[in-house]
Structure 1
Amino acid sequence: MKPDIEKIKRESLTKMYEDALETMTDDDVIRMISEVSYLRKQLKSQSDVIARLKKEAYHDPLTGLPNRRYFERELDKSMSYFKRYKRMGALLLIDADSFKSINDSLGHLAGDAILKHISKLLQQHTRSADTVARIGGDEFCIILRETSSEEAFEKAKKLSDIISKTPCTYEGRDIHISVSIGGCSFSEAQDRTDLMNKADSAMYISKNNATAVA
């Protein structure tokens, strides 16, 4: 019968531990407990720092939304999944109308309040399976998974309508805002760059034609 090596190791370590405890004074035990407690706190602190750094690396500090880096990674994954399994998906690109003039007339704090207001509405009216991101300035993107081009168009119209009917309250006054939205289905693009360019072109068509959605 082969000896249980792991059992022998455990018993040996237990014996060594018990022997060590017998030779330790009360002060030694107190010091050891203190050192273990300190190490545990240090490990937790390091873990918290790593978690915070990861969040900062992939999230926008103003709105708390995923940033461009996170968005591009998720979009690549979604498009790969679409191509491999022939699933549906679409991208919406959203731009706040007249944002520069609002910033210039009311100040950057008002502009920040509007960006946070838009981000909150987008999160409230999209599914948990979708990804809402702020990719820079007053531009937002939404990855709509398992969504046809028709459904994406209807979603864009709904979001535009909600934002235009929900003013941002800042320092006791209501600021009415609107957005222009362009969309593109995964099936209409070759890769991420092509998808982004087509959604961007559609967004500018909607902005120039004042149609809200294209």
Structure 2
Amino acid sequence: MRIRPLDNTRATSASGDAKRTSASTGTGQAAAASAPRDAASIMGVPENELTPNVQRALLTLMGEVDQLRQETERLRSKVLELESLADRDVLLPILNRRAFVREVSKAVALAERHNAPSALVYFDLNGFKGINDTHGHAAGDAALRHVGAILTAHLRETDAIGRLGGDEFGVVLTLSSRASAEQKAEELSELIGGTPFEFEGKSLSIRAAWGVQELAAGMTPDVAMAEADAAMYARKEDARQAG
């Protein structure tokens, strides 16, 4: 087999093409190396567009957003404060009747979902009218504050305390049986009657009658409170007849 000699023209052309290809590749690699991979940005605006005017506008916007955030937090705190005031008794730092009924509903719902009944204690103050008539309404208010303070100091954070009107108080003992609720109610009643309070240099006393109703599944708050109230009056009647 004869070997044909290489065509010098084709060889020269091929050599030139290879050189151009190599040069082109080298240039492309250098350009790729010099180009940034990710353009820097602030709030989504590329850095090369952040002229002084744009920077000032962004700073102003960020300041306004911060002011709006602070105003939102202030309004949220105000709403929470107003909600707390709406649930609070006008005289005592405990729940009013409306808020207390809501707590009774929660306890009934807990019994329905988890078969874990709680108990409602209904307190009525004995001798409250006499204090008002003898010493004035300011003394009656002092008696109410005295009772509210005792209840608050001797109950758990998970329990609920409310003033139901006049000289009547309600307590929800969370996850408590009737027996344990009756024991706690008697303890609180003894504390109220055995702890005098001071009013204008005088030592005054007041007593409390109580009734208990278990908060079981299916019971409405109105029925529960009526039953506890009835139990309290029954105990009063029993005590009157006994002595």
Please state which band the TM-score falls in when normalised by the shorter chain.
0.7 to 0.9
Aligned to 1:65, the other structure's residue is in SS state coil
Q: Cα gap change, 1:53/1:188 in structure 2, threshold over 3 Å: closer, same or farther?
A: closer
CA distance in 1, matches of 2:207, 2:64: 58
1:14 Cα deviation after fit: 4.2
* 2:213 corresponds to which of 157, 160, 184: 184
- What TM-score do the two structures reach when normalised by structure 2? 0.71
Q: Cα gap change, 1:46/1:21 in structure 2, threshold over 3 Å: closer, same or farther?
A: farther
1:157 Cα deviation after fit: 0.8
Residue of structure 2 in register with 1:82 after alignment: 111
2:192 is equivalent to residue 163 of structure 1: yes
Q: Cα gap change, 1:151/1:20 in structure 2, threshold over 3 Å: closer, same or farther?
A: same
1:34 Cα deviation after fit: 7.6
* Structure 1 gap ranges (5+): 1-7
2:30 is equivalent to residue 22 of structure 1: no
1:188 Cα deviation after fit: 9.6
Kindly provide the amino acid, as one letter, of the partner of residue 99 in structure 2.
Answer: Y
Aligned to 1:210, the other structure's residue is in SS state helix
* 2:179 corresponds to which of 150, 168, 172: 150
Aligned to 1:180, the other structure's residue is in SS state strand
Aligned length: 202
2:56 is equivalent to residue 56 of structure 1: no
Residue of structure 1 in register with 2:237 after alignment: 208
2:143 is equivalent to residue 114 of structure 1: yes
Q: Cα gap change, 1:91/1:35 in structure 2, threshold over 3 Å: closer, same or farther?
A: same
Kindly provide the amino acid, as one letter, of the partner of residue 23 in structure 1.
Answer: N
Segments of 4+ in structure 1 off by > 6 A?
28-34
CA distance in 2, matches of 1:169, 1:20: 72
Larger radius of gyration: 2
Residue of structure 2 in register with 1:174 after alignment: 203
Kindly provide the amino acid, as one letter, of the partner of residue 179 in structure 1.
Answer: A
- What TM-score do the two structures reach when normalised by structure 1? 0.80
Contact 1:189 1:195 in 2 (8 A): no
1:209 Cα deviation after fit: 3.5
* Structure 2 gap ranges (5+): 1-37
Contact 1:93 1:139 in 2 (8 A): yes
| 1:149-186 per-position Cα deviation (integer Å, ceiling 9, x unaligned) | 11111111101111111111122221111011011112
Contact 2:111 2:217 in 1 (8 A): no
Kindly provide the amino acid, as one letter, of the partner of residue 210 in structure 1.
Answer: A
CA distance in 2, matches of 1:21, 1:192: 66
2:196 is equivalent to residue 193 of structure 1: no
Aligned to 2:158, the other structure's residue is in SS state coil
Residue of structure 2 in register with 1:130 after alignment: 159
Q: Cα gap change, 1:33/1:126 in structure 2, threshold over 3 Å: closer, same or farther?
A: same
| 1:64-90 per-position Cα deviation (integer Å, ceiling 9, x unaligned) | 101112211111111121123221311
Aligned to 2:179, the other structure's residue is in SS state helix
